[in-house]
Structure 1
């Protein structure tokens, strides 16, 4: 008999269940049915000695049962004081493990997803899954805690979203009846990088901005084997630079958000990550909506992306069609290679917003007007941008 693990056939195992000790009895004694003898003892070193002594006593009687029939007491009354009780194995709510469901889920996704999606998204998630300390669906909270402790926050949230989607699919497929990851991702808050700290506002110069836009339009650093050319995203990238909107606001835009005369863009929604993947939500981060005036540089882009679209069509759809751009995929597979190819210091696409704000201030736009254009408060613009828009100098009085 070894505490906490099963060894030879007929052995009695001391286990800790919910911080209390119990004895796991051999299945062959009860026609293959698992039964436990609960001891009513906390899991402490002293109590484990008591439990192990009781386990050895039962094992001796089991062995004696072979030579001397009747030695083992099948009623177990011989082995338990009043505090002991016999319980049958608790039936798990989940008849299948997470990794088994995931394998079936992946096979399902292969039928409806592109090879690149499977290679760049689900291969990563499968790798995360293989490292989990348990695949027991009853331990979903333990899985979540491990994920949050071992995977970067944004990736951790995406992974939990995919696990929830996997379980939703398993429910639809009548494999399980409950999703233990349901709602978990919405409670995971990604720590805000100090976007408004001086050190985090690192805008591109006009020269860098124009190099980036041109590299996208010309596919300068796009692999010849790439299924989706970088130029597919060129209007999206230039739109970010020319409006200073948040990427989540840009990818939520539909044809109806552009006025018929192409004079205004109305931002009133954002795309967020939910349990069911990317979804549009009404309202913006700091306001319900805002109108952005279109200049002559932006107008031809809007005319181009609106051509042939109906009111509810996404303005900047993903390459897969009528779905939203996955900003994580875009950043890693497209944005990063372009910046690396140009030899430009890496900065996240969100810096397009900082670039617009900084250039607007440097070109004489009042901080209050810039705040209205980008949906920030004037205080934020004054504190984090206006005060740093030019080098300080001491005039000669």
Structure 2
């Protein structure tokens, strides 16, 4: 395992190393080697904290107070330690979450960190935050956030304190009940595009000299229900030779490829219409890593730019009431249910769970008629 010595250690000194972008300490005492992973990213403040801990270990070795179990030196925080501030606790939580979250998801955590820093200031101890303080923060955020976003932010903060308790960094969670108090008002779901509306949208793309290139991309999503990032990231290696099947195992968003949602790959069977579409855009020579629906420049389609320009423009031209580009997925599911396709089969094709399908599309699955009396 490659490591970088950050403090020029020598014999009898606790070395500070960086391994996989995380700090650790390494030393020898009584002819036995020790290693203590701190779990902190390599930042100026964390290097300072690591040096302080290294000095403490060295002093304990010199004075015969060394704890061979290392429990005494486990990373922890207290009110006098700068690592014990609200912002430092949350930064440690971000470092922990960054191991499992993708870049776009972690952006929400960094935004939350900034809001915590602005409200609690940099050196406010995490252990001193009371339920009243948490409620005041929530009230402050309520002035600028919708209910859904506020609930999401408070849920993230609550998770950070829960994690802190497990790490022995704080003892109580003042945020425990706050997310549950936020009532998100229900929103009526937009109606799916009708077949006539889809025809108008396709026609608008086909006749637009700037955006007609994207027509196959739009049709593929409408006819398969694939997520935007899945269609953008689809490669010819994921399409069977005769174009009768498409394997969805990854997605591509903002230049970052990742596993399909919930890490569950699936196969979409292609009817003759979809097969003809794929064959019409397939080059005579393809590499398995080539994108099926690249941008005009041959790169990955930039979804935000596409939705802001091409999608909005063509819906306006078509005279169709605006609904988001993602809504094509909802449209696909709704039409499949309306035509009697089994919910289990639709869930298999779209990557939804049966539970989600019934939760969001129950009205399409079982039509309720109020009797006359």
- TM-score of the aligned structures, taking structure 2 as reference length: 0.49
Q: Which has the larger radius of gyration?
A: 1
